[in-house]
Chain A
Amino acid sequence: MDSKRLCPGCGKPLAANVPMGLCPECLIKAGFPTGAETDTGSATRPGFAPPSLQELAGLFPRLEILELIGKGGMGAVYKVRQRQLNRFAALKTLPPGIGGEPAFAERFTREAQALAQLSHPGIVTLYEFGETNGLYYFLMEFVDGVSLRQLLQTSRVSTREALAIVPQICDALQFAHDQGVVHRDIKPENILLDRRGRVKVADFGLAKLVGAGREPQPAGGTTTGSPTLTESGKIVGTPNYMAPEQVEHPAEVDHRADIYALGVVFYQMLTGELPGKRIEPPSRKVLIDVRLDEVVLRALEKKPELRYQQVSEVKTEVETIAATSPSPVAAPTQSRPAIQAPSANLNKKTRRGAARYVIPAACVVLAVLGILFVAGEAHGRRSLHHALGSLLKEGHTPVIFEPGQGRKVLRAQPIAGRSAPRGALAGQSITGTWKAEGVGFAPWTFTLKADGAQVTGTVSQGGSSGAWTTTLTGETPIYDGAVSGNQVSFKCDSPGGERTISFSGVMAGDVITFTRAVKVQPGADPGMNGIYGASGATHFTAKRVVGPGSEPVPGPRAGAAGPAQAWGFKRLAGPVTELPVPKIGDLTRVDRNTPPSNDDATTATHILKTTPHATLGNAYVIVTDQTNGAALGSLERLARFHQGSILHVANLGALLTAAAERQQLISDLRGA
């Protein structure tokens, strides 16, 4: 038996029937446009060999050629020392053969002179330019630091740093635009940061200059001998960062193309990724101020006229957001609200994925009742706890999943709603405290008062998604109360009023047999019938616990002053965003133990459509009034799907640094 061959690309074993002996997965991956692959930055273009150090030393006697720093489609860059001035400089050589066109020399001179006018602290200064032995070159300021590309590759750029870098880029760009110079190739490789954290934009106008000098090559091209810069011989800049108009009508590009490229870079700094075909707002990927979404998305508008028209506008927006952004809820490591320039020592790649979360007050998230799925990264622990803590203080209650135990904690909050006509049940023998049991219910207690019902207890349900338990506390006004003989009936509303729940019961001594029916208001979304389970009538019995007129069972919210409030689950006030819903196949792939079902996807979609929810960056907080076990099970599977962004809160314990912290958090959440 042959041993399994492994694919050299991905390392997986190759099955016997793979096409041409090649790994099918890798082949499919090769089908994505190159932008979708990992951006390797200045990938080498085939067929272009930069001059050797000796060669250059011969050509530039006044320079000491030290080392090759970088190589890209635009040429090669060397670190050199100007002997006389005794300072470092960067020597950039354009690819040989570029000066083929006769008018190139003249254009080169003109362009270079325009570039030399760009004297600005944020722009890499041009010292000299020229041509020697057919080799065109620039001598520029040497920036002792790193490029943004290097930063992005080694460690995440924090939001704070991004907000400090972008305005500096804007300054440089605006200066250049005012001089009539468009960069045309803004990308992380061209954004340098020196040791003091100052931004310097490099390679201004080079794209146009170098592009102007290229002859179009025939499609076949040649191999060695004359370098091809791109397959078709045209310089087009770096595709990922190019504005759409730059791709389609390169001749008509104006300064707004730089704004687009800046948007891409900004997006990349914030999220670590390039924007895909459908741009996902950054605040959904990382924990940032949602106002930044607008800035980034507007910069990334496909049509130039919809973008910012001036780079300085971007700067203003960003600085405003940065100045007004952080909230007291921010993690302790980030207590300073002022935005500072990134710290020195950028050359040392010491920061490892130090994403610092800013939880601004402006963020949409104030979840009230939520199923909290939280991102797990070691450094996120503290901010997570603080976020949860503040949510609690503001009166919100998340739900915790603890898989395996299937346990959820839910607290109903009083909300404004229909208030009951006072005394609907006044003086009736039915008032008092009852304990209800029935199909699907573990014992729960409700107290019927003259004008309202107060519920405490747990509701449990077994089921395919696992047994779960919900602890309830809340009050609701009841109305239309009537007691006649041994018959009793009353109604209450679901929060929001879409559903009317009617109770009718027959009292026999100290036991009432209730029938509960749900009626959906016309036009209202039936939803997944929250606390009342599936629609339709259900039955349960209640036994008297305490005699009529007794004190209501004390709960965390007992004795609320003011008019009776409808109870239930507070809805999120404010804009909501939807989570992307996985397709069935995805669910299958993630959780093989749960067979895929149409129901999961449908249920999840339905829930997310009918319930408000929002994201807290990496923590998805869903506000829902669902306690239906099947619905919650689907959401749980949804959570599992987002494993990259979501962890079950059962792992929360593992995230928090100390057992005591965890205990405190859990008990906070339970309202104990």
Chain B
Amino acid sequence: MSTTALSRPPSDAGSGARGPVFVTTQWSVVLAAARSDTTAAQAALEKLCQTYWYPLYAYVRRRGHSPQDAQDLTQAFFARLLEHHWVGGAERDRGRFRTFLLTAMSRFLAGEWDKARAQKRGGGVIHVPLQLDTAETRYGCEPADDCTPEQCYERRWALTLLDAVLQRLRSEYERAGRAELFAGLDSSLVGSRESQPYAELAPKLDMSESAVKVAVHRLRKRFRKLLRAEIAQTMAATDDVDEELRHLLAVLAGS
């Protein structure tokens, strides 16, 4: 059984653990272009917002706003953010998009932005589809917990990130015609490589055990690569992906 080479997603820049190639991460592009509204920066920011808007919505809801208000606020926030490329203010949080977004939103909610001129729903033009109408359904499915809005945001961020990476991984396999392989092996992403039930997986997938081992190894490696790449996208050039991973782990472990 042979595998074809999996195509690399376009955003797979700066994927190596040691590579100095973070210059082209989305967030660093945004930061670099803070003063001038370049197309690339705009595109990068849109991409980031498109992936990570939901944790912000959850944050706004957890802050006590009603679903309707939360939708309006989230909408308005992103519209303003993308329209005016408002990155300059958050000096302290420039390192990470995650923290920047939270700070910007909390300032927005505190009225530090010119709320009076905030675009009402249907008024502004956003290029980024936010699926706000489904946001509340999604939020309603969240397990109830008593975390603070910030904790809620952080946790949702981590889950959103994982979701995005898994989706991307799955679509890679699908494009290569290996959808069933992915479906059969996705559980092997958790736990150590040694503890995987290779003997059970082999007959299910109609592969030899050693072939399963290779496949799992490749899957895990690809996942790791994509995960790190995605994290790197949200960070500025010099930051440490491992540190962000540790933060995310702490966030998930604490809840």
Interface residues, chain A, with chain B CB atoms under 8 Å away: 7-10, 15-20, 22-33, 36-38, 40, 43-44, 46-49, 218-224, 228, 231, 247, 277, 585-586, 588-589
A36: chain B residues within 8 A (beta carbon): 242
B166–A25 CB distance below 8 A:
no
Q: How far is the CB of B249 from chain A (nearest CB, A)?
A: 5
A26–B189 CB distance below 8 A:
yes
A32: chain B residues within 8 A (beta carbon): 224, 242, 245
A18: chain B residues within 8 A (beta carbon): 159
Q: Can you name the residue of chain B whose Cβ is closest to the Cβ of A18?
A: B159
**In the docked arrangement, what's the CA distance between A33 and B16, Å?**
10
Can you list 21 residue pairs at the A/B interface with Cβ under 8 Å?
A10-B191, A16-B142, A22-B190, A24-B158, A25-B249, A25-B253, A27-B223, A28-B162, A30-B220, A37-B192, A40-B192, A46-B217, A49-B210, A218-B5, A220-B2, A220-B6, A221-B214, A223-B207, A223-B214, A224-B210, A224-B211
Given contacts A22-B166, A30-B227, contact A43 B193 (CB under 8 A): yes
B213 within 8 A of A: yes
A231–B193 CB distance below 8 A:
no
B194: chain A residues within 8 A (beta carbon): 40, 43
Most B C-beta atoms less than 10 A away, residue of A28, A47, A231, A589: A28
A38–B192 CB distance below 8 A:
yes
A218: chain B residues within 8 A (beta carbon): 5
A22: chain B residues within 8 A (beta carbon): 162, 166, 186-187, 189-190
B248 within 8 A of A: yes
B107: chain A residues within 8 A (beta carbon): none
B4 within 8 A of A: yes
A43: chain B residues within 8 A (beta carbon): 193-194
Given contacts A28-B162, A37-B192, A224-B211, contact A231 B3 (CB under 8 A): no
A7–B4 CB distance below 8 A:
no
Most B C-beta atoms less than 10 A away, residue of A33, A36, A48, A247: A33
B195 within 8 A of A: yes
A231–B224 CB distance below 8 A:
no
B158–A28 CB distance below 8 A:
yes
Q: How far is the CB of B244 from chain A (nearest CB, A)?
A: 9
Q: How far is the CB of B235 from chain A (nearest CB, A)?
A: 14
A26–B191 CB distance below 8 A:
yes
B250–A24 CB distance below 8 A:
no
**In the docked arrangement, what's the CA distance between A626 and B170, Å?**
57
Q: How far is the CB of A610 from chain B (nearest CB, A)?
A: 24
Q: How far is the CB of B126 from chain A (nearest CB, A)?
A: 25
B228–A31 CB distance below 8 A:
yes
A28–B191 CB distance below 8 A:
no
**In the docked arrangement, what's the CA distance between A31 and B232, Å?**
12
A17–B214 CB distance below 8 A:
no
B143–A20 CB distance below 8 A:
no
Given contacts A219-B5, A231-B221, A588-B254, contact A33 B190 (CB under 8 A): no
Q: How far is the CB of A11 from chain B (nearest CB, A)?
A: 10
**In the docked arrangement, what's the CA distance between A46 and B231, Å?**
28
Q: How far is the CB of A279 from chain B (nearest CB, A)?
A: 14
Q: Which of A27, A48, A247, A277 makes the CB contact (< 8 A) with B190?
A: A27
Q: How far is the CB of A154 from chain B (nearest CB, A)?
A: 17
Q: Can you name the residue of chain A whose Cβ is closest to the Cβ of B155?
A: A24
A26–B2 CB distance below 8 A:
no
**In the docked arrangement, what's the CA distance between A35 and B85, Å?**
39
**In the docked arrangement, what's the CA distance between A43 and B192, Å?**
11
A8–B190 CB distance below 8 A:
yes
A19–B159 CB distance below 8 A:
yes
Interface residues, chain B, with chain A CB atoms under 8 Å away: 1-6, 17-18, 141-143, 158-159, 162-163, 166, 170, 186-187, 189-195, 207-208, 210-211, 213-218, 220-221, 223-224, 227-228, 231, 240, 242, 245, 247-254
Given contacts A9-B195, A28-B158, A47-B214, contact A17 B248 (CB under 8 A): no
B193–A223 CB distance below 8 A:
no
Chain A contact residues: helix, strand, loop or mixed: loop
**In the docked arrangement, what's the CA distance between A15 and B145, Å?**
11
A17: chain B residues within 8 A (beta carbon): 141-143, 159
B142: chain A residues within 8 A (beta carbon): 16-17
A15: chain B residues within 8 A (beta carbon): 143
B17–A33 CB distance below 8 A:
yes
**In the docked arrangement, what's the CA distance between A44 and B192, Å?**
13
A9: chain B residues within 8 A (beta carbon): 190-192, 195
**In the docked arrangement, what's the CA distance between A476 and B220, Å?**
67
B213: chain A residues within 8 A (beta carbon): 44, 46-47
B141: chain A residues within 8 A (beta carbon): 16-17
**In the docked arrangement, what's the CA distance between A15 and B143, Å?**
7
A16–B249 CB distance below 8 A:
no
Most B C-beta atoms less than 10 A away, residue of A9, A27, A49: A27
Q: Can you name the residue of chain B whose Cβ is closest to the Cβ of A231?
A: B221
Q: How far is the CB of A36 from chain B (nearest CB, A)?
A: 7
B253: chain A residues within 8 A (beta carbon): 25, 589
| 15 further contact pairs, Cβ within 8 A, besides A24-B252, A31-B224 | A7-B190, A16-B143, A19-B166, A24-B162, A25-B252, A27-B189, A27-B227, A30-B220, A30-B223, A31-B245, A46-B213, A220-B6, A224-B208, A224-B211, A228-B214
Q: Can you name the residue of chain B whose Cβ is closest to the Cβ of A278?
A: B240
Q: How far is the CB of A50 from chain B (nearest CB, A)?
A: 12
A29–B249 CB distance below 8 A:
yes
Q: Can you name the residue of chain A whose Cβ is closest to the Cβ of B4?
A: A220
Q: How far is the CB of B12 from chain A (nearest CB, A)?
A: 13
In the A-B complex, the 3 residue pairs with the smallest Cβ-Cβ separation, listed nearest first, are A9-B191, A26-B190, A9-B190
**In the docked arrangement, what's the CA distance between A24 and B189, Å?**
10
B250: chain A residues within 8 A (beta carbon): 585-586, 589
Q: How far is the CB of A100 from chain B (nearest CB, A)?
A: 18
A46–B214 CB distance below 8 A:
yes
A223–B3 CB distance below 8 A:
yes
Most A C-beta atoms less than 10 A away, residue of B141, B159, B252: B252
**In the docked arrangement, what's the CA distance between A277 and B240, Å?**
10
Q: How far is the CB of A18 from chain B (nearest CB, A)?
A: 7
A585: chain B residues within 8 A (beta carbon): 247, 250-251, 254
Given contacts A46-B213, A222-B2, A223-B2, contact A23 B190 (CB under 8 A): yes
Q: Can you name the residue of chain A whose Cβ is closest to the Cβ of B254?
A: A589
Q: How far is the CB of A242 from chain B (nearest CB, A)?
A: 12
**In the docked arrangement, what's the CA distance between A99 and B6, Å?**
29
Q: How far is the CB of B241 from chain A (nearest CB, A)?
A: 8
**In the docked arrangement, what's the CA distance between A277 and B18, Å?**
11
A220: chain B residues within 8 A (beta carbon): 2-6
Given contacts A19-B159, A27-B189, A589-B250, contact A223 B211 (CB under 8 A): yes
Given contacts A17-B141, A22-B187, A26-B189, contact A46 B162 (CB under 8 A): no
